[in-house]
Amino acid sequence: MTRSTWPYPGSRWWKIDLHTHTPASLDTAAWQAAVGTTNEITPEKWLIRWMLAGLDAVAITDHNTGAWIDPLKSAYSAMKASADAGSPPDGFRELTLFPGVEISVQGGWHLLAIFGPEATTETVTRLLGLVDYGGQSGDSDGVTRTGAAEVVRAVHEARGLAIPAHADQGKGLLQCEPGTRSSRLDPNTIRAVLAESDLLAMEWVDPDLQAPALYDEGGHRHARVLGSDSHSFQGSAVPGSRFTWFKAGALTLEGLRLALLDGDGVSVRRSDEERFEAYRTPGHFLKRLEIHEARVMGRGAAQVLDFSPYCNALIGGRGTGKSTVVHALRLALHRDGEVLDGLSEESSPHRDFRRFKQTAQGRSGEGALRDDTEIRLVYSRDGLDHRLTYMAADHSVRIEDFDEATGDWRLAGSQAFAAGRFPVRLFSQGQIAAMASDGRQALLTVIDEAEPKLPALKQGFEEAKRSYLALRAQQRELQGRLAETPELERRRDELQRKLAAFEQSHHAEVLMAFQQAQRQGREIEGLLEALSDYARRIDGLDQALLLDDWPEGVFDATTDADALAWRGEAQGSLDETRRTLQRARETLRTAIVNLQRDERLEAWRARAGAAGQAYEALKMALAAQGVEDPQEFGRLVQERQQLDVQHRQFQDLEQRLEDLRKKMETQWTLVLDRRAQISTQREAFLSTKLAANEFVRMEVVRFGYDERMLEKSLRDLLDASSHFASDIWNGQAGRSGAGLVSILAQGTDRDAALADIKQRLIGVDAGFGGHFHNHLQKKLSSQPEFADRIQCWFPEDDLKIEYSRGGGAGFSPIGQGSAGQRAAALLAFLLSFGVEPLILDQPEDDLDNQMIYDLVVRQIRENKLRRQLLTVTHNPNIVVNGDAELVLAFEYSRGQCLVRRDHSGSLQNTSVRKTVCDVMEGGHEAFARRWARLGREI
Q: For CA atoms 853, 854, 855, 861, give the dihedral sign.
A: positive
d(Cα 62, Cα 74) in Å, to the nearest integer? 17
Q: How many residues does the chain have?
A: 938
- Closest CA relative to residue 882, chosen from 892, 872, 890: 872
CA 302 to chain centre: 31
Give the least confident one: 11-25, 171-185, 205-219, 757-771: 757-771
Instruction: Give 345's contacts (C-beta < 8 A, 6+ positions apart).
Output: none
User: Could you tell me if 694 and 825 are in contact, meaning their C-beta atoms sit under 8 angstroms apart?
Assistant: no
SS3 149: helix
- The one-letter code for the residue type at 692 is A
Give me the pLDDT at residue 543, please. 73
**How far, in Å, CA of 336 to CA of 329, rounded?**
10
Mean pLDDT value across residues 348-371: 79
Which residues face 871 on adjacent strands?
A: 313, 840
- How far apart CA 452 and CA 868 sit, in angstroms, is 19
Q: 201-203 and 223-225 as β-strands: parallel, antiparallel, unpaired?
A: parallel
Q: Which pLDDT band, with edges at 50, 70 and 90, does 929 fall under?
A: low
Question: Does the predicted model carry a pTM greater than 0.85?
Answer: no
Cα torsion through 346, 352, 353, 359, rounded to 10: 110
Contact 364, 352 (CB under 8 A): no
Q: Which residues contact 92 (CB under 8 A, 6 or more apart)?
A: 48, 51, 79, 82, 83
Q: How far is CA 817 from CA 196, 660, 803, 805, in A?
A: 42, 53, 8, 9
At residue 490 the predicted structure's pLDDT band, cuts being 50, 70 and 90, is confident
- Which of 123, 127, 207, 110 is CA-nearest to residue 165? 110
Q: Are 90 and 31 in contact (CB under 8 A)?
A: no
Q: Mean per-residue pLDDT for 330-339?
A: 78
CA dihedral 762, 764, 766, 770 (to 10 degrees): 150
What type of residue sits at position 921? E
Evaluate if residue 144 carries a pLDDT over 90: yes
For residue 154, what pLDDT band results from cuts at 50, 70 and 90? very high
**Does an H or E element contain 772, and which?**
helix 770-782
pLDDT tens-digit readout, 761-800: 988 888 888 889 899 999 888 988 899 998 999 999 988 8
Average of pLDDT values for 310-338? Answer: 87
Q: What is the pLDDT of residues 568-578, one digit of tens each?
A: 888 888 888 88
Q: Average of pLDDT values for 597-619?
A: 85
- Residue-level pLDDT at 824: 79
Q: Which pLDDT does position 927 carry in this prediction? A: 58
Between the CA atoms of 868, 871, 876 and 882, what dihedral angle is there, to the nearest 10 degrees?
-20
Are 229 and 165 a contacting pair, CB within 8 Å?
yes
Which residues neighbour 572 within 8 Å (Cβ) at sequence distance 6 or greater?
Answer: none
Q: Could you give the CA distance from residue 88 to residue 79 in angstroms, rounded to a whole number?
A: 7
Estimate to the nearest angstrom the gap between the alpha carbon of 884 and the chain centroid. 25
The distance between the two most distant Cα atoms of the chain, rounded to a whole number of Å, is 155
Q: How confident is the model at residue 491 (pLDDT cuts 50, 70, 90)?
A: confident
Task: State residue 634's pLDDT score.
Answer: 62
Q: Bridge-partner residues for 698, per DSSP?
A: 801
pLDDT digits (tens, 9 = 90+) for 508-522: 677 778 888 888 888
Please write the tens of the pLDDT for every residue from 403-445.
999 999 999 999 998 877 899 988 887 778 777 776 678 788 8
CB 20 within 8 A of CB 61: yes
